[in-house]
C-alpha cells in the first residue's frame, strides 16, 4: 500500500473515494463541510433524511455527489464531538478500511487525519491512520486452497492534513507507520500459521531470511549448542517434542560499534499442549499462538531495520514445542538452568518461564543496557487485564516508565503490575532452589517473579501478552501486538 500526505480542498479531488467524518447530531467536520458546500448541501440533505446519524463506527457510501469530481464520498460516523478521542478516531479509521475494502476503489483520500484530537499531533494521527488502515485490510489466506476472489484492491491512500506546515511531520509519520505496519504484518502471519508449519525450524528459517534481507546477523543455536551452554531448563521443555529446539539470535547493528545494545527476548512455544500436565481440549488450537512473543521480536526487528534505527538491538527467541511423550519432562523433575539455579518442574504447562529463564541468562553475554521479554505467559493475565492492556513488570522504575510511555505513544498500551518482594514468598521448593509455579493466586505476578530470579544483571521489563497477542472468536487472528510498543520504545532509545 502506498500512503502520501496532502493538504488542499477535498471537494476538488479526482480520486476513487473521498472519506469525510460526521459527528453525531449532524455536525459536519470541516472536510465534510467543504464537500457539502460544493455539492449544494448534498450531505446535509442525506443527514436530514436520517440515512446517516454520525454514530461511531457507521459508514455511508455516496455515489455521484453533485459537482464533486471524486467517484465516491464515504461518510464516517465519529460519535459525539465532545467524546471524540483516540479510540473513536481509531474506530473511524477501522470502519473506513472495512468500507473501502468493500468497494472497487483502488485509491482514496482520507480526510480524518485533519481532525482536531486533544493531546495528539499530526505525527500521531498519521501513524495511527497507517496502522489502522493496514490492520483493516490485512488478510491471512495463505492456507486457503483458492485465494479469495476479491475486487480490485485498495492501493493508494492519501491522508489529508489541514495545513501545509503539517506535511513534513506527516511524511515522517507515514514512513514510521509503514515500517511498524510491515513488522506487525510479519508478526500476524507467523502467529496465524498453524503449528504444523510454524515449527521451531520454520521460525529459525524465517529469522535467517529476515537477517539476509535486512543486513542483520542471524545465529541459530542447535540442541547440542544448548547442551554445551547448560540450558537444562529450555531443553527439559523440548524433550517431549519430535521437533528440534532452536535458540534464534538476531543482531541488528545500527548504532556505534561500541554502543551497548538492548535485547528483546520472545517466547517461542510453537505449540503448547501443556506437556504431561496436559491442557483440556477446548480452544487448545489457540496454543499455536504461544509463539506470538517470538513473532513480535521478529516483527520489531524488521520494523527497526526498515527505519534504519541508529541503535544496536539483539533479538533472542527460544523456540520449541511443549508436548506430552514418553520422553517428556514430568511433574517433579528437577533441572539445572544455565544460571546454575535448580528448578523443580511442578507443572509442565508452566513452560514459558522455563525456556525464557535460560534465554534471559544467555543475553547477559551481550552486556545489554536493558532487556525486555515478551511472552504469552499466563492465562491469569487475561483474567487480570482482559484483552486491552499488556501486563508490564519491571525491576527498574526508569525502564518501566519508558515502556509505559511507548505503549501510550503507540496506542499499544501496557499496564504496570506489581512485583513486590512479598510475591516472591510462594516460590519455595522442598527439593530444588525454586519451583516453576506458586499457588493460583496472582499467577501472572509469580510467573514474573520466577523470571526476576534470572534478570538481576540488567534493567529488565517483562510483557505478558497472553490477553493481547491474539483475538479469539469469529475474528480469530494474531494482533501483531506489542510490535508498535516495542518499536516506539526503541525509537526513543535511538533518539
Ligand atoms: N501459554 C500458556 C498461557 C496462556 C494460556 C496464554 C491461555 C493465553 C491463554 C502458558 O504456558 C501456560 O500454560 N500457563 C499456565 C501456568 C500455570 C500452569 C501456572 C496457565 O496460565 O494456566
Ligand atoms: Mn503452558
Ligand atoms: Zn505456553
Instruction: Starting from the CA of residue 466, give the closest ligand.
Output: 1
**Confidence band (pLDDT; 50, 70, 90) for 338?**
very high
Q: What percent of the chain has pLDDT over 90?
A: 98
Is the distance from the beta carbon of residue 352 to the nearest atom of ligand 1 less than 6 Å?
yes
Q: Alpha carbon 300 to chain centroid distance?
A: 9
Ligand 3: centre distance to CA 260 (Å): 31
Q: Is the CB of 380 under 6 A from ligand 1?
A: yes
Q: What is the pLDDT of residue 205?
A: 98
Q: For residue 272, report the distance from its CA to the centre of ligand 2, in Å.
A: 6
Long-range contacts of 164-171 (CB under 8 A, 24+ apart): 164/7, 166/5, 166/7, 166/122, 167/5, 167/6, 167/7, 169/121, 169/122, 169/123, 169/126, 170/5, 170/113, 170/122, 170/123, 170/126, 171/4, 171/5
Which atom of ligand 1 is the closest one to the Cα of 274? 13
d(CA 51, CA 54): 10
pLDDT band at 149 (very low <50, low <70, confident <90, very high): low
For residues 495 and 481, what is the distance between their CA atoms, to the nearest angstrom? 23
Residue 114 Cα to chain centre, angstroms: 26
Indicate which residues carry an active-site annotation.
279, 353
pLDDT computed for residue 150 by the predictor: 64
φ, ψ dihedrals at 401, nearest 5°: -60, -40
Query: Is any atom of ligand 1 closer than 6 Å to the C-beta of 272?
Result: yes
How wide is the angle at C-alpha 105 spanned by C-alphas 103 and 110, nearest 5°?
A: 95
Residue whose CB lies within 8 A of the most ligand 1 atoms, among 321, 379, 383, for a mutation test: 379
Q: How far is the CA of 33 from the centre of ligand 3 (A)?
A: 52
Query: The cell 496454543 sits on which residue?
Result: 287
In short, whether 378's Cβ falls inside 6 Å of ligand 1 is yes
CATH 3.40.630.10 intervals, the chain: 181-494
Average pLDDT of the chain, as a whole number: 97
Per-residue confidence (pLDDT) for residue 99, from 0 to 100? 97
Residue 447: pLDDT band by 50, 70, 90 thresholds?
very high
pLDDT of residue 147: 75
Q: How confident is the model at residue 152 (pLDDT cuts 50, 70, 90)?
A: confident
- Per residue in 265-314, pLDDT (tens digit) is 999 999 999 999 999 999 999 999 999 999 999 999 999 999 999 999 99
What's the pLDDT score for residue 52? 97
Start and end residues for every CATH 3.40.220.10 domain found in the chain: 2-161
pLDDT per residue over 207-241, tens digit each?
999 999 999 999 999 999 999 999 999 999 999 99
Over residues 119-141, mean pLDDT: 97
**The pTM of the whole model exceeds 0.95:** yes
Q: Is residue 368 over pLDDT 90? A: yes
Pick the CATH number of 181-494 from 3.30.365.10, 3.40.630.10, 2.30.30.240, 3.30.300.30: 3.40.630.10
Domain 2-161: give its CATH architecture. Answer: 3-Layer(aba) Sandwich (3.40)
**In this structure, what C-alpha cell is assigned to residue 384?**
487480570
Residue 266 burial (CB count, 10 A): 32
Q: What are phi and psi of 270, to 5 degrees?
A: -75, -20
| pLDDT band at 146; cut points 50, 70, 90 | confident
Residue-wise pLDDT tens digits, 177-200? 999 999 999 999 999 999 999 999
The 3-state DSSP class for residue 65 equals coil
User: Tens of pLDDT along 64-114?
Assistant: 999 999 999 999 999 999 999 999 999 999 999 999 999 999 999 999 999
Q: Taking residues 457-474, what's their average pLDDT?
A: 98
- Ligand 1 lined by 71 (C-beta under 6 Å): no
Q: What is the pLDDT of residue 482?
A: 98
Mean pLDDT of all residues in 135-142: 96
Amino acid at each position: 500500500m502506498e500512503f502520501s500526505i496532502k493538504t488542499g480542498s477535498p471537494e476538488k479531488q479526482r480520486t476513487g473515494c473521498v472519506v469525510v467524518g460526521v459527528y453525531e447530531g449532524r455536525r459536519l467536520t470541516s472536510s465534510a463541510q467543504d464537500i457539502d458546500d460544493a455539492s449544494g448541501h448534498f450531505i446535509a440533505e442525506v443527514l436530514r433524511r436520517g440515512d446517516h446519524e454520525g454514530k461511531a463506527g457507521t459508514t455511508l457510501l455516496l455515489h455521484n455527489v453533485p459537482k464533486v469530481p471524486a467517484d465516491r464520498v464515504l461518510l464516517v460516523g465519529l460519535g459525539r464531538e465532545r467524546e471524540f478521542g483516540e479510540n473513536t478516531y481509531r474506530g473511524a479509521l477501522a470502519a473506513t478500511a472495512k468500507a473501502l475494502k468493500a468497494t472497487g476503489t483502488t485509491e482514496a483520500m482520507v480526510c480524518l487525519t485533519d481532525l482536531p484530537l486533544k493531546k495528539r499531533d499530526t505525527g500521531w494521527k498519521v501513524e495511527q491512520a497507517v496502522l489502522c488502515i493496514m490492520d483493516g485490510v490485512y488478510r491471512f489466506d495463505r492456507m486457503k486452497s483458492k485465494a479469495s476472489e476479491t475486487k480490485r484492491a485498495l492501493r493508494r491512500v492519501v491522508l489529508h492534513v489541514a495545513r501545509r506546515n503539517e506535511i513534513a511531520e506527516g511524511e515522517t509519520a507515514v514512513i514510521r507507520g509503514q515500517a511498524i505496519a510491515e513488522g506487525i504484518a510479519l508478526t500476524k502471519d507467523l502467529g496465524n500459521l498453524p503449528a504444523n508449519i510454524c515449527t521451531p525450524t520454520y521460525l529459525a528459517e524465517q529469522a535467517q531470511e529476515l537477517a539476509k534481507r535486512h543486513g542483520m546477523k542471524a545465529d541459530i543455536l542447535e540442541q547440542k549448542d544448548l547442551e554445551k551452554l547448560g540450558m537444562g531448563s529450555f531443553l527439559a521443555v523440548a524433550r517431549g517434542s519430535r521437533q528440534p529446539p532452536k535458540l534464534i539470535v538476531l543482531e541488528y547493528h545500527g548504532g556505534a560499534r561500541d554502543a551497548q545494545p538492548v535485547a528483546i527476548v520472545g517466547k517461542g512455544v510453537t505449540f503448547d499442549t501443556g506437556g504431561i500436565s496436559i491442557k483440556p481440549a477446548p480452544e487448545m488450537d489457540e496454543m499455536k499462538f504461544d509463539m506470538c512473543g517470538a513473532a513480535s521480536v521478529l516483527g520489531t526487528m524488521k520494523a527497526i531495520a526498515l527505519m534504519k534505527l541508529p541503535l544496536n538491538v539483539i533479538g533472542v527467541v527460544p523456540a520449541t514445542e511443549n508436548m506430552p511423550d514418553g520422553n517428556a519432562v514430568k511433574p517433579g523433575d528437577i533441572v539445572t538452568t544455565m544460571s546454575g539455579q535448580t528448578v523443580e518442574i511442578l507443572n509442565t504447562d508452566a513452560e514459558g518461564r522455563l525456556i525464557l529463564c535460560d534465554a534471559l541468562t544467555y543475553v547477559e553475554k551481550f552486556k545489554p543496557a536493558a532487556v525486555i521479554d515478551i511472552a504469552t505467559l499466563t492465562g491469569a493475565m487475561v483474567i487480570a487485564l482482559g484483552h486491552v492492556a499488556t501486563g508490564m513488570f519491571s525491576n527498574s522504575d526508569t525502564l518501566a516508565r519508558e515502556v509505559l510511555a511507548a505503549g501510550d505513544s503507540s496506542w499499544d498500551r501496557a499496564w504496570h503490575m506489581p512485583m513486590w518482594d512479598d510475591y516472591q514468598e510462594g516460590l519455595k521448593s522442598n527439593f530444588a532452589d525454586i519451583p516453576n509455579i506458586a499457588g493460583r493466586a496472582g499467577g501472572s505476578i509469580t510467573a514474573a517473579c520466577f523470571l526476576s530470579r534470572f534478570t538481576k544483571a540488567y534493567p529488565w521489563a517483562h510483557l505478558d501478552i497472553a490477553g493481547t497477542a491474539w483475538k479469539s472468536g469469529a475474528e480469530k487472528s494474531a494482533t501483531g501486538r506489542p510490535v508498535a510498543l516495542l518499536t516506539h520504545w526503541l525509537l526513543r532509545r535511538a533518539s
